[in-house]
A and B are shown apart, each in its own frame.
Chain A
Amino acid sequence: MKRSSIVLRCLVLVYVMALLGLPLFFVFQQAFSHGWAALWAALHDHAMGLAIVLTMKVALLAVPLNVVFGIGVSLWIVRRPSWLSHVVDVIIDVPLAISPIIVGLILELAYAQSGWFGSTFARLGWKVMFSLPGIVLASIFVSLPLVSRQVIPLLREVGDHQEQTAATLGAKPTRIFFTITLRSIAWTAAYGVTLTLARVIGEYGAVLIVSGNIALVTQTLTLNIGANFENFNAYQGFVGALLLAMVSVMVLVFIGVARHRMERKRHDSFA
């Protein structure tokens, strides 16, 4: 073992642990700093409970929509290419380059009462801004390409020969989709879904604007954490952060497993 590579290894470990490991550890340390009883009490905080319910609602709506959309648009772009799908292929990555604050702003411009559709929606009795639909919309926006970015390259790599073979064996399109296509992209799609879920649960800036950040009503868990922290209730904030940190650790573990499985699949392939 050369000395230079040990030095490099140590430098990297120190950097990564200081930048990433330490904050993660610190969240746990802060949340447990007042003992179990205090933690137990803080977990029963009414506002935080409502925020958790709202975040779950948003995730249950936004994630399935984006997964269906992500897989559908990937199939369309890869298997039925046209000029329109090429345009979409470019547009679909745009949300990744937009600041969450700007996402919030543009949704407000389009869907607030004074915005483009706001008045129409208001007449129909739909309230988009400062309510659940707006938060779902913002969550969908920021996580829009996370599934398709993973699935599109894989679909290209796998090719359509398996699907066409299944067709010659008498299978109908829906059967081909569920027994062939979906099976071959399963782990990659799951990886994209996990990224989507993490992004939806963790979104802050965009939701901050579209929700209006009304405590007990439109406050998601991230907003609740931010509000507690700013209102000199840092401990309560860290208890919320603890919950999200635990979710992220689960997400990380799953991402690790999924990536391992994806690599093994690729390794097994022989095309």
Chain B
Amino acid sequence: MGYISLLVMIPLAALLTNAFKGGLGAFWRAAISTESVDALKLTLVCSFLAAAFNAVAGTATAFVLVRDKFPGQGILNTIIDLPFALPTVVAGITFYALYGPHSPFHVNITGSWIGITVAIMFVTLPFSVRSVQPVLESLSLDAEAAAATLGASSFRIFRTVTLPAILPALLTGTGLAFARALGEYGSVVFISNNLPYHSEVASSYVYSLVSSGQVASAASVAVVLLCLALLVLIASNVIGRRLSRRHG
């Protein structure tokens, strides 16, 4: 208990007191400064795009892992966890080298929302795959077979039988990915170029405030970012639970 309070609770309390040290007004001014709002907006949009895209791609990947059989599947299954194992800074510099000014493919997506989104897609893919995969594995094929005998097309079967079953887990996984994406730093910071008002994500902005000594403002923006992440987590959990109750 002491371990947790020393580590988590007391520092969090320190964050809150620092954010509101100058009163509500100061907190609010820091939180809604143009640079802060632009950074938060960019973070939300890129995180949402990446999480949403991976919800689809992750489901497809889980499908291939569970239902398909082909040589090398084990390697595919293993490499899905790469973003958990590979340090974000390694991913960050690699993306910069791959898709930056010296790109071997001659594409430069640095300093744009595209680059940020790609980096976040990298980081969040396993969340979607690993949330859907176990549900698909435990899903009996009987219901799908029954639907097929009724003449339903594969897409229709997926939409009416499979999707409702995996949706709660998918939502929770996507929510987790979204929340994680909101705070992502290491993999994003290199490819984004950190141009204020333009390609600076929220965590980057907090860092720039910290390194320039504006700790109270940093705390204010951090509180907003933290609240957004918690909101996403809670919302996806609540919706996921409600959906799973409806579908038994």
Contacts and interface: CB of A to CB of B under 8 A. Distances in A.
Interface of A: 4-5, 8-9, 11-13, 15-16, 19-24, 26-27, 30, 69, 73, 84, 88, 91-92, 94-102, 104-111, 115-117, 137, 140-141, 144, 195, 198-199, 201-205, 208-209, 222-223, 225-226, 229, 234, 237-238, 241, 244-245, 247-249, 251-253, 255-256
A105 B206 contact: yes
B112 interface: no
Given A102-B222, A102-B225, A84 B93 contact: no
A68 B77 CA distance: 30
B154 A4 contact: yes
B32 interface: no
Contacts of A107: 11
Contact of A252 (B57, B82, B88, B118): B82
Nearest to A116: B14
B79 A20 contact: yes
A20 B125 contact: yes
Contact of B215 (A12, A24, A109): A109
Interface residues of B, number: 73
A202 B97 CA distance: 19
Given A102-B206, A108-B215, A20 B83 contact: yes
B185 A99 contact: yes
A26 B74 CA distance: 21
Contacts of A11: 60
A93 to B, nearest CB: 9
A168 to B, nearest CB: 31
B68 A5 contact: yes
Contacts of B76: 12-13, 16
A16 B58 CA distance: 10
A119 B212 CA distance: 22
B12 interface: yes
B143 interface: no
A8 B77 contact: no
B90 A141 contact: no
B80 A234 contact: no
10 contacts: A5-B67, A12-B60, A16-B80, A23-B122, A102-B226, A104-B210, A202-B86, A202-B90, A226-B186, A255-B81
B207 A229 contact: no
B94 A27 contact: yes
Nearest to A95: B8
Closest 6 CB pairs of A and B: A99-B183, A202-B87, A204-B186, A205-B185, A248-B85, A106-B11
Nearest to B203: A101
B115 to A, nearest CB: 13
B12 A92 contact: no
Contacts of B179: 97
A9 B87 contact: no
Given A9-B68, A105-B222, A141 B10 contact: no
A244 B91 CA distance: 11
Contacts of B24: none
A205 B207 contact: yes
B203 A102 contact: yes
Interface in B7-21: 7-12, 14-15, 18
Given A8-B64, A97-B179, A251-B85, A106 B98 contact: no
Contact of B14 (A106, A245, A247): A106
Contacts of B222: 99, 101-102, 105-106
Contact of B121 (A13, A19, A102): A19
B27 interface: no
Interface in B196-248: 202-204, 206-207, 210, 215, 218-219, 222, 225-226, 229-230, 233
Contacts of B92: 204, 226
A97 B185 contact: no
A97 B229 contact: yes
A94 B233 CA distance: 10
Contact of A241 (B77, B93, B215, B229): B93
A102 B82 contact: no
A253 B83 CA distance: 14
B95 interface: yes
Given A241-B93, A248-B86, A116 B10 contact: yes
